Protein backbone atom coordinates (compact mmCIF):
# COMPACT_ATOMS: atom_id res chain seq x y z
CA UNK A 1 0.00 0.00 0.00
CA UNK A 2 2.80 2.45 0.89
CA UNK A 3 4.52 1.72 -2.41
CA UNK A 4 1.34 2.66 -4.28
CA UNK A 5 1.06 5.97 -2.37
CA UNK A 6 4.69 6.87 -3.11
CA UNK A 7 4.15 6.01 -6.77
CA UNK A 8 1.07 8.25 -6.97
CA UNK A 9 2.92 11.17 -5.34
CA UNK A 10 5.80 10.81 -7.78
CA UNK A 11 3.36 10.86 -10.69
CA UNK A 12 1.71 14.02 -9.36
CA UNK A 13 5.08 15.76 -8.94
CA UNK A 14 6.30 14.76 -12.37
CA UNK A 15 3.00 15.93 -13.93
CA UNK A 16 3.25 19.36 -12.27
CA UNK A 17 6.85 19.90 -13.38
CA UNK A 18 6.02 18.70 -16.90
CA UNK A 19 3.80 21.72 -17.31
CA UNK A 20 6.38 24.30 -16.22
CA UNK A 21 7.30 26.83 -18.89
CA UNK A 22 10.02 29.37 -19.50
CA UNK A 23 8.76 32.83 -20.42
CA UNK A 24 11.19 34.91 -22.50
CA UNK A 25 10.45 38.66 -22.48
CA UNK A 26 11.39 41.17 -25.16
CA UNK A 27 13.87 42.71 -22.71
CA UNK A 28 15.76 39.39 -22.63
CA UNK A 29 14.63 38.52 -19.10
CA UNK A 30 13.52 34.93 -18.49
CA UNK A 31 10.97 33.65 -16.00
CA UNK A 32 10.45 29.98 -15.22
CA UNK A 33 7.09 28.95 -13.80
CA UNK A 34 3.58 27.77 -14.57
CA UNK A 35 1.17 29.79 -16.68
CA UNK A 36 -2.02 30.02 -14.65
CA UNK A 37 -3.88 32.37 -17.01
CA UNK A 38 -3.37 33.88 -20.45
CA UNK A 39 -5.42 35.62 -23.13
CA UNK A 40 -4.78 38.05 -25.97
CA UNK A 41 -3.79 40.82 -23.54
CA UNK A 42 -1.86 39.32 -20.59
CA UNK A 43 0.08 36.28 -19.40
CA UNK A 44 0.00 35.45 -15.66
CA UNK A 45 2.83 33.22 -14.36
CA UNK A 46 3.44 31.58 -10.96
CA UNK A 47 7.14 30.91 -10.37
CA UNK A 48 8.69 28.13 -8.28
CA UNK A 49 8.48 30.24 -5.10
CA UNK A 50 4.73 30.76 -5.55
CA UNK A 51 5.01 34.45 -6.53
CA UNK A 52 2.77 35.61 -9.37
CA UNK A 53 3.80 37.89 -12.24
CA UNK A 54 1.61 39.53 -14.87
CA UNK A 55 3.04 40.50 -18.25
CA UNK A 56 1.35 42.20 -21.23
CA UNK A 57 1.17 39.79 -24.16
CA UNK A 58 3.10 42.33 -26.28
CA UNK A 59 6.07 42.01 -23.88
CA UNK A 60 6.25 38.20 -24.19
CA UNK A 61 8.74 37.17 -26.88
CA UNK A 62 8.46 33.39 -26.52
CA UNK A 63 7.07 30.61 -24.29
CA UNK A 64 9.20 27.45 -24.06
CA UNK A 65 8.28 24.04 -22.64
CA UNK A 66 10.65 22.09 -20.35
CA UNK A 67 12.04 20.16 -23.31
CA UNK A 68 12.62 23.30 -25.39
CA UNK A 69 14.27 25.13 -22.49
CA UNK A 70 16.52 22.20 -21.52
CA UNK A 71 19.36 23.41 -23.74
CA UNK A 72 18.93 27.05 -22.73
CA UNK A 73 21.13 28.79 -20.09
CA UNK A 74 19.93 28.79 -16.51
CA UNK A 75 16.85 30.90 -16.00
CA UNK A 76 17.10 34.15 -14.08
CA UNK A 77 13.94 34.90 -12.14
CA UNK A 78 12.74 38.44 -12.69
CA UNK A 79 12.28 40.74 -9.75
CA UNK A 80 8.73 40.78 -8.48
CA UNK A 81 6.62 43.69 -9.71
CA UNK A 82 3.02 44.50 -8.90
CA UNK A 83 2.16 44.86 -12.60
CA UNK A 84 3.83 45.72 -15.87
CA UNK A 85 1.83 48.17 -17.96
CA UNK A 86 3.16 49.31 -21.31
CA UNK A 87 0.20 51.61 -21.89
CA UNK A 88 1.88 54.50 -20.06
CA UNK A 89 3.29 55.75 -23.35
CA UNK A 90 2.23 58.52 -25.71
CA UNK A 91 -0.78 57.72 -27.83
CA UNK A 92 -2.39 59.04 -31.01
CA UNK A 93 -6.13 59.67 -31.14
CA UNK A 94 -7.77 59.84 -34.57
CA UNK A 95 -11.44 60.87 -34.70
CA UNK A 96 -13.75 61.02 -37.74
CA UNK A 97 -17.25 62.47 -37.45
CA UNK A 98 -20.39 63.44 -39.31
CA UNK A 99 -23.66 65.04 -38.30
CA UNK A 100 -26.00 68.01 -38.54
CA UNK A 101 -25.00 71.68 -38.26
CA UNK A 102 -27.23 74.65 -37.45
CA UNK A 103 -27.05 78.37 -36.90
CA UNK A 104 -29.77 78.77 -34.25
CA UNK A 105 -32.91 80.46 -35.64
CA UNK A 106 -31.32 80.87 -39.10
CA UNK A 107 -29.92 77.93 -41.09
CA UNK A 108 -29.47 74.16 -40.92
CA UNK A 109 -27.28 71.73 -42.84
CA UNK A 110 -24.61 69.09 -42.40
CA UNK A 111 -21.10 68.74 -41.02
CA UNK A 112 -18.12 66.40 -41.36
CA UNK A 113 -14.55 66.44 -40.16
CA UNK A 114 -11.53 64.78 -38.62
CA UNK A 115 -9.36 65.45 -35.53
CA UNK A 116 -5.77 64.31 -34.98
CA UNK A 117 -4.57 64.46 -31.35
CA UNK A 118 -1.41 63.36 -29.55
CA UNK A 119 -1.21 62.79 -25.80
CA UNK A 120 -1.00 60.30 -22.94
CA UNK A 121 -2.97 57.08 -23.21
CA UNK A 122 -2.52 56.00 -19.60
CA UNK A 123 -2.09 58.11 -16.44
CA UNK A 124 -1.56 56.44 -13.08
CA UNK A 125 -3.67 53.29 -13.11
CA UNK A 126 -6.29 54.61 -15.56
CA UNK A 127 -6.69 54.64 -19.32
CA UNK A 128 -7.03 58.42 -19.46
CA UNK A 129 -6.23 60.39 -22.63
CA UNK A 130 -5.12 64.02 -22.26
CA UNK A 131 -3.57 65.68 -25.28
CA UNK A 132 -3.81 68.26 -28.01
CA UNK A 133 -3.72 68.67 -31.76
CA UNK A 134 -5.70 69.98 -34.68
CA UNK A 135 -8.23 68.90 -37.27
CA UNK A 136 -10.52 69.93 -40.11
CA UNK A 137 -14.23 70.75 -39.68
CA UNK A 138 -16.48 71.46 -42.66
CA UNK A 139 -19.96 72.97 -42.20
CA UNK A 140 -22.45 72.96 -45.09
CA UNK A 141 -25.46 75.23 -44.64
CA UNK A 142 -27.39 75.40 -47.88
CA UNK A 143 -25.27 77.26 -50.45
CA UNK A 144 -22.85 78.43 -47.75
CA UNK A 145 -19.79 76.43 -46.73
CA UNK A 146 -17.62 77.17 -43.71
CA UNK A 147 -14.29 75.42 -43.07
CA UNK A 148 -12.36 75.62 -39.80
CA UNK A 149 -9.01 74.33 -38.57
CA UNK A 150 -9.57 73.70 -34.83
CA UNK A 151 -6.50 73.87 -32.59
CA UNK A 152 -7.57 72.16 -29.38
CA UNK A 153 -6.78 70.39 -26.13
CA UNK A 154 -8.90 67.37 -25.26
CA UNK A 155 -9.67 64.86 -22.51
CA UNK A 156 -11.13 61.38 -23.04
CA UNK A 157 -11.96 59.35 -19.91
CA UNK A 158 -13.53 55.87 -19.73
CA UNK A 159 -15.79 55.37 -16.70
CA UNK A 160 -14.25 51.98 -15.82
CA UNK A 161 -11.05 50.02 -16.49
CA UNK A 162 -12.96 47.12 -18.04
CA UNK A 163 -12.46 46.09 -21.66
CA UNK A 164 -15.88 47.57 -22.50
CA UNK A 165 -16.73 50.89 -20.88
CA UNK A 166 -18.73 54.10 -21.35
CA UNK A 167 -16.44 57.03 -22.19
CA UNK A 168 -16.74 60.78 -21.65
CA UNK A 169 -14.79 63.51 -23.41
CA UNK A 170 -14.40 67.29 -23.64
CA UNK A 171 -12.42 69.58 -25.95
CA UNK A 172 -11.62 73.28 -25.96
CA UNK A 173 -9.71 75.41 -28.43
CA UNK A 174 -9.87 77.94 -31.26
CA UNK A 175 -11.29 77.32 -34.74
CA UNK A 176 -9.16 79.05 -37.38
CA UNK A 177 -11.21 80.14 -40.40
CA UNK A 178 -9.98 78.84 -43.77
CA UNK A 179 -11.52 81.65 -45.81
CA UNK A 180 -11.32 85.45 -45.94
CA UNK A 181 -15.12 85.63 -45.98
CA UNK A 182 -15.32 84.92 -42.26
CA UNK A 183 -13.14 84.74 -39.14
CA UNK A 184 -12.86 82.00 -36.53
CA UNK A 185 -13.49 81.91 -32.83
CA UNK A 186 -13.74 79.74 -29.72
CA UNK A 187 -14.35 76.03 -30.29
CA UNK A 188 -15.62 73.49 -27.72
CA UNK A 189 -17.01 69.96 -27.74
CA UNK A 190 -18.53 67.26 -25.51
CA UNK A 191 -18.55 63.48 -26.18
CA UNK A 192 -20.41 60.57 -24.59
CA UNK A 193 -20.27 57.01 -25.89
CA UNK A 194 -18.86 53.49 -25.75
CA UNK A 195 -15.22 52.38 -25.81
CA UNK A 196 -13.61 48.95 -26.35
CA UNK A 197 -9.99 48.33 -25.25
CA UNK A 198 -8.61 45.97 -27.92
CA UNK A 199 -5.18 45.52 -26.27
CA UNK A 200 -2.96 47.50 -23.85
CA UNK A 201 -2.16 50.07 -26.56
CA UNK A 202 -5.19 50.16 -28.86
CA UNK A 203 -8.84 51.08 -28.33
CA UNK A 204 -11.84 52.11 -30.43
CA UNK A 205 -14.85 54.19 -29.45
CA UNK A 206 -18.21 55.17 -30.93
CA UNK A 207 -19.67 58.30 -29.37
CA UNK A 208 -22.41 60.87 -29.75
CA UNK A 209 -21.03 64.40 -29.69
CA UNK A 210 -21.95 68.06 -29.80
CA UNK A 211 -19.71 70.97 -30.83
CA UNK A 212 -19.89 74.73 -30.62
CA UNK A 213 -17.99 77.07 -32.94
CA UNK A 214 -17.96 80.85 -32.90
CA UNK A 215 -17.31 82.92 -36.03
CA UNK A 216 -17.87 86.31 -37.61
CA UNK A 217 -19.37 86.33 -41.11
CA UNK A 218 -19.18 89.04 -43.77
CA UNK A 219 -22.75 90.22 -44.43
CA UNK A 220 -23.65 92.60 -47.26
CA UNK A 221 -26.28 95.16 -46.16
CA UNK A 222 -28.34 97.66 -48.20
CA UNK A 223 -29.46 100.47 -45.86
CA UNK A 224 -31.74 102.18 -48.42
CA UNK A 225 -33.14 104.45 -45.74
CA UNK A 226 -29.71 106.09 -45.27
CA UNK A 227 -28.06 106.06 -48.72
CA UNK A 228 -30.37 104.83 -51.49
CA UNK A 229 -28.70 102.19 -53.67
CA UNK A 230 -25.57 101.95 -51.49
CA UNK A 231 -24.24 98.74 -49.99
CA UNK A 232 -21.62 97.96 -47.38
CA UNK A 233 -20.13 94.86 -45.76
CA UNK A 234 -20.30 94.21 -42.06
CA UNK A 235 -19.05 91.30 -39.92
CA UNK A 236 -21.85 89.67 -37.95
CA UNK A 237 -21.33 87.12 -35.19
CA UNK A 238 -22.48 83.55 -35.78
CA UNK A 239 -22.66 80.54 -33.49
CA UNK A 240 -22.49 77.15 -35.21
CA UNK A 241 -23.81 74.12 -33.32
CA UNK A 242 -22.96 70.61 -34.58
CA UNK A 243 -24.25 67.25 -33.30
CA UNK A 244 -23.74 63.72 -34.60
CA UNK A 245 -21.70 60.53 -34.31
CA UNK A 246 -17.95 60.06 -34.08
CA UNK A 247 -15.63 57.08 -34.59
CA UNK A 248 -12.40 57.26 -32.56
CA UNK A 249 -9.26 55.14 -32.74
CA UNK A 250 -6.56 55.16 -30.03
CA UNK A 251 -3.19 53.70 -31.04
Element (H, E) at 18: helix 2-18
Choose the weakest-confidence range: 12-26, 50-64, 129-143: 12-26
- pTM of the shown model: 0.58
CA atoms 126, 130, 131, 137: torsion sign: positive
Q: How many residues does the chain have?
A: 251
Could you read off the pLDDT of 151-190 as tens digits, one per residue? 999 999 999 888 899 999 999 999 999 988 899 999 999 9
- Domains of the chain, earliest start first: 2-69 (2.30.30.100), 90-250 (2.40.160.20)
96 pLDDT band, cuts 50/70/90, is very high
Could you read off the pLDDT of 32-79 as tens digits, one per residue? 888 888 888 888 888 777 778 888 888 888 887 766 666 655 544 444
Amino acid sequence: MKKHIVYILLCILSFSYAHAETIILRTGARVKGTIIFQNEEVVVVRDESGARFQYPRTDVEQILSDEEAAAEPEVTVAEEEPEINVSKKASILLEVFGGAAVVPNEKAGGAAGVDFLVGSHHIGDRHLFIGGGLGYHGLFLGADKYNFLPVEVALRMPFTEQKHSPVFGVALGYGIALSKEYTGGIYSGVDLGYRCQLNPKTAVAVVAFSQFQQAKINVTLTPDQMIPGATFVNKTGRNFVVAGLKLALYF
